[in-house]
């Protein structure tokens, strides 16, 4: 296996190892597509690497679904159009045990800030403070899922010999969650605590990591588990590399190796 294929496989494994953001109970009446665990196969890459991490995740979801004998993918990446204007996109229509399902796919990174909002879903925000989990779920509920019932979707469903009132709606919503450095994990009443993957810290406080080693993964490798056999950089090298990002108000994900050998993922934020 060449280096590129190995890295793609590590990305796929990282996706598979990311649990659903919630299980069993619905959140805002949105239900996850829960699948039985099975052994991991190699990811066959007929597509080439897309520019966006979200598109890569969609490829991984399709690859995972194809491993199940009771699932058949009918159509994916469905553009819903009104003449030449795109109304929206449906990620996937599949059948599971012969029953049709509309599936939407989401993979996000959130940090916990108790100062934002007053509910568990509002406290989880994007690392650059531009969005939060509640807003994403509301967009799913109010815009993305209702696209199934849009009049411009009917011709596509007709070609598949399906009717919208006979189709279940599910999501594959995964996320990596990060809490403030050295803080106690918050209560997980709605969400899956297993989604907790690391911590975050303001740039102004990273000097306490002066004895640590660092690695800066490309965006696509944010999916990966932290790897041991990589070229770690010193604190000074790391500081100089990320200082321009902070000046540009960009929070990103990094890997850290503590002097005791502990490895973790973490975000460095430009905000306090």
**Model confidence over 102-132: pLDDT tens digits?**
999 999 999 999 999 999 999 999 999 999 9
Task: Say if residues 122 and 110 touch (Cβ distance below 8 Å).
Answer: no
**pLDDT at 5 exceeding the cut of 90:** no
Percent of the chain with pLDDT over 90: 88
pLDDT band at 175 (very low <50, low <70, confident <90, very high): very high
Whether residue 183 has pLDDT greater than 90: yes
Q: Are strands 99-112 and 168-180 parallel, antiparallel or unpaired?
A: parallel
Give the pLDDT score at 47. 64
CA atoms within 13 A on the CB side of 29: 7
Exposed/middle/buried for 216, CB within 10 Å: 0-12, 13-18, 19+? middle
Please give the pLDDT value at position 39: 74
Average pLDDT, integer, range 218-232 = 95
Residue 1: its pLDDT value, please?
53
pLDDT averaged over the chain?
94
Helix (H) or strand (E) holding 12: helix 3-17
Indicate the helix (H) or strand (E) that contains 122: helix 120-123
**Averaged pLDDT for residues 188-202:** 97
Q: Residue 35 — very low, low, confident or very high, per pLDDT cuts 50/70/90? A: very high
| pLDDT, mean of residues 165-187 | 97
- Total Cβ atoms within 10 A of residue 93: 21
Mean pLDDT within 34-51: 76
Counting Cα atoms < 13 Å in the Cβ hemisphere of 184 gives 2
Could you say which DSSP state residue 20 is in? B
pTM of the shown model: 0.95
The Cα–Cα gap between 34 and 36 comes to 7
Per-residue model confidence as pLDDT tens digits over 60-102: 999 999 999 999 999 999 999 998 899 999 999 999 999 999 9
């Amino acid at each position: 296996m060449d280096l590129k294929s190995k890295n793609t496989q590590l990305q796929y494994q990282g996706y598979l190892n990311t649990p659903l953001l919630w299980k069993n109970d619905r959140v805002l009446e949105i239900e996850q597509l829960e699948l039985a665990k099975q052994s991991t196969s190699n990811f066959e890459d007929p597509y080439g690497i897309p520019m966006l991490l979200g598109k890569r995740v969609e490829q991984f979801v399709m690859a995972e679904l194809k491993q199940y004998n009771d699932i058949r993918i009918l159509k994916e990446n469905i553009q819903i159009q009104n003449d030449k204007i795109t109304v929206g996109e449906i990620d996937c229509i599949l059948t599971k045990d012969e029953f049709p399902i509309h599936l939407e796919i989401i993979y996000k990174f959130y940090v916990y800030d108790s100062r934002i909002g007053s509910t568990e879903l509002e406290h989880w925000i994007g690392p650059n403070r531009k969005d939060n989990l509640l807003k994403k779920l509301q967009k799913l509920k109010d815009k993305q899922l209702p696209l199934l019932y849009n009049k411009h979707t009917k011709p596509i469903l007709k070609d598949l010999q399906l009717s919208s009132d006979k189709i279940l709606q599910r999501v594959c919503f995964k996320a990596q969650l990060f809490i403030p450095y050295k803080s106690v994990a918050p209560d997980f009443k709605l969400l899956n605590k297993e989604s907790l993957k690391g911590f975050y810290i303001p740039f102004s406080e990273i000097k306490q990591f002066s004895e640590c080693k660092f690695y800066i993964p490309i965006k696509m490798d944010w999916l990966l588990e932290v790897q041991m056999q990589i070229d770690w950089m010193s604190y000074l090298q790391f500081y100089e590399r990320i200082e321009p990002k902070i000046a540009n108000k960009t929070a990103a994900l990094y890997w850290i190796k503590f002097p005791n050998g502990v490895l973790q993922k973490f975000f460095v934020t430009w905000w306090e």
